[in-house]
Structure 1
Amino acid sequence: MLSLIGLLVAVYERRQVSFTIPNSGTTLTLKFGSLFDEPTDWIVAVNEYFDSELGDIVATSSLHGKVITEVYRGNSENFRNDVDKALSGIQGVTDTRVKGHPVRYPLGTVAIIQNGPTKIYLVALTKTDIDTHRASSTVPVLWNALGNALAAVDRVGNGDPVAMPLIGNGRASLNIAPQHLLRLIALKIVDAKRSHDLPHKMTINLSDECFELLDIIEIKRGWSVI
């Protein structure tokens, strides 16, 4: 029985760890699990058009798509309406597209929508090819977009906990190994803390596809000795 308990504890620890990021006052939790199970506010990356059309343009498997399918129950029109309200007053550029929303916003733009008590910070991370709908981004864009999202969290978040996925690991085509991407995000939190009042509790939700690629216990140990 004790051996079984020890095994269960070891497995749990491999799926979730928490540590305080030095010089930030923020406790960061790394957790394998769905972002949508977190009873917190969320940061979700989207494309520069904040598209609402599922399929070729917004993959249902992406977190952008899952906001529409799970939070909005597949109602793309309601999602579009809420996003347009959130973006009112922000200048965009109208493009000619055969499919998708015609207005393109600067990368790093943040639209804040409300899901009951949960705020969803949608941040434009990727450029979208007008013909192929392929999404792409770069490390400098990711750094800037995360900074803008964290600034929005400071501005309207009231210190509430916030969760985000391993931003840039999906369809953004950054081609960065998950361990380096995770460190980059943590470094951005440290950087943002210099000028913004961030929540004391933040979570990065990791997909199960990253389970064999990330030793989160070793990552915690690395941050603990900084």
Structure 2
Amino acid sequence: MSRFGVLRDIKRPRFWQAFATHAFSCIGLIAILFGLYDVLEPNAISKLNFPSLLPMLLVAITYAAIRSYPRPVSQNYSKPSTEIRIVEGDLFSQQSNLVIGMTTTFDTQIPHVIHPRSIQGQLLERVYSNDLAALDGDLAQGLTQHTPVGHIQKPGKTVRYAAGTVVTIQQHRKHYFCVAYGEMDAANQAHSTMDGIWCSLESLWREVRARANGDPVAIPVVGGGLARLSQILPAQDSIRFIAMSFMFASRQTRVCDRLDIVVRPEDVERLDMLELQAFLKSLQDS
């Protein structure tokens, strides 16, 4: 976590709530110890003045600061044995398997259909070295296992598959889980719904469970950009959405060792990391 991220998080009310809780709990413990000491040495406590008590106050403040200090957001779970982390950085720099959000037509052509800076555009550039034919060939091979559900007249690809269709590509010892959660219209504008994204995530976890061999998986924040849902599913809510879906699926049958939700640096400033840590903790099996 960057210095600026820490400064941002300590301004949040949740930080000061946690700080006050830990400080008062420490002061309470010190008071109990003083009470026990007073039983052994009657009237000794009453002789203490403020300078004598100042070190105890500093201990309480230090303890509260250490316990409340913002840390990288992660949560381990025992049932099932897995972990969720929120990672700031570049999706394609992660060492784990990657989730690539796509549309139901699995369009790949840039720049007129797919934006070069989109996840699909980066997949083409950074994994396939802009070899469009190779990427389309791998997608076409994977799609032979799925039945089209229709066609759409538009520039680019016109064959539509069901939302939630997942094509798994293996490149450079990584799995790339290409999941369709957005629909293209006739003008090549992508859109989706929360129900569609939830169903697509369920399909994704089934594929990860079957193909990843338990290895960690990294997923970008979904719901903005491609899916046109950023106003009703902003990054903070999208992360909760992904984490909840993953944990629901994991409780049925374990999905993988770890899920990394990767947040772009420019989006981090809008997130309340302390709230997200509290949310991840709340997903522990009670």
TM-score (structure 1 length as normaliser): 0.89
Amino acid at match of 1:195: Q
Which residue does the alignment assign to 1:3?
Answer: none
Tell me how far 1:15 sits from its aligned partner.
8.2
What whole-Å deviation, never above 9, does each CA across 1:9-56 have from its counterpart, x for those lacking one?
958x96842112574422111011011011111111101111121112
Amino acid at match of 2:89: G
Which residue does the alignment assign to 2:219?
Answer: 164
Specify the SS of the correspondent of 1:42.
strand
Percent pairwise identity: 26
What's the Cα RMSD here? 2.3
**Alignment partners' CA distance in 1, 2:251 and 2:244:** 11
Of 127, 130, 134, the match for 1:71: 127
Specify the SS of the correspondent of 2:196.
helix
* More helix by percentage: 2
Tell me how far 1:67 sits from its aligned partner.
0.5
Amino acid at match of 1:133: N
Specify the SS of the correspondent of 2:106.
coil
Asked if the contact 2:100–2:178 (Cα under 8 Å) also holds between the matched residues in 1, the reply is yes
Asked if the contact 1:47–1:135 (Cα under 8 Å) also holds between the matched residues in 2, the reply is yes
Going from structure 1 to structure 2, the CA distance change for 1:212 and 1:49 (only over 3 Å counts) comes to same
Stretch deviating more after TM superposition (191-200 or 144-153): 191-200
**Alignment partners' CA distance in 1, 2:196 and 2:160:** 16
What whole-Å deviation, never above 9, does each CA across 1:120-155 have from its counterpart, x for those lacking one?
00000101012x100000000010101101100001
Which residue does the alignment assign to 1:81?
Answer: 137
**Alignment partners' CA distance in 1, 2:165 and 2:76:** 28
Stretch deviating more after TM superposition (160-169 or 23-32): 23-32
Going from structure 1 to structure 2, the CA distance change for 1:196 and 1:169 (only over 3 Å counts) comes to farther
Which residue does the alignment assign to 2:61?
Answer: none
**Alignment partners' CA distance in 1, 2:109 and 2:97:** 24
Stretch deviating more after TM superposition (95-104 or 172-181): 95-104
Tell me how far 1:70 sits from its aligned partner.
1.1
Amino acid at match of 1:17: V
Asked if the contact 2:154–2:188 (Cα under 8 Å) also holds between the matched residues in 1, the reply is no
**Alignment partners' CA distance in 2, 1:96 and 1:128:** 8
Stretch deviating more after TM superposition (117-126 or 169-178): 169-178
Asked if the contact 1:107–1:141 (Cα under 8 Å) also holds between the matched residues in 2, the reply is yes
Going from structure 1 to structure 2, the CA distance change for 1:111 and 1:14 (only over 3 Å counts) comes to farther
Correspondence 1:7-26 to 2 at 5 A:
10=6, 16-21=72-77, 23-26=79-82
Asked if the contact 2:166–2:204 (Cα under 8 Å) also holds between the matched residues in 1, the reply is yes
**Alignment partners' CA distance in 2, 1:8 and 1:63:** 26
**Alignment partners' CA distance in 1, 2:179 and 2:5:** 36
Correspondence 1:211-222 to 2 at 5 A:
211-222=268-279
The count of corresponding residues between Structure 1 and Structure 2 is 219
**Contiguous gaps of at least 5 residues in structure 2:** 8-68
Going from structure 1 to structure 2, the CA distance change for 1:21 and 1:184 (only over 3 Å counts) comes to farther
Specify the SS of the correspondent of 1:74.
coil
- Larger Rg belongs to: 2
1:111 lines up with 2:178 in the alignment? no
Specify the SS of the correspondent of 2:261.
strand
**Alignment partners' CA distance in 1, 2:206 and 2:104:** 18
Which residue does the alignment assign to 2:198?
Answer: 143
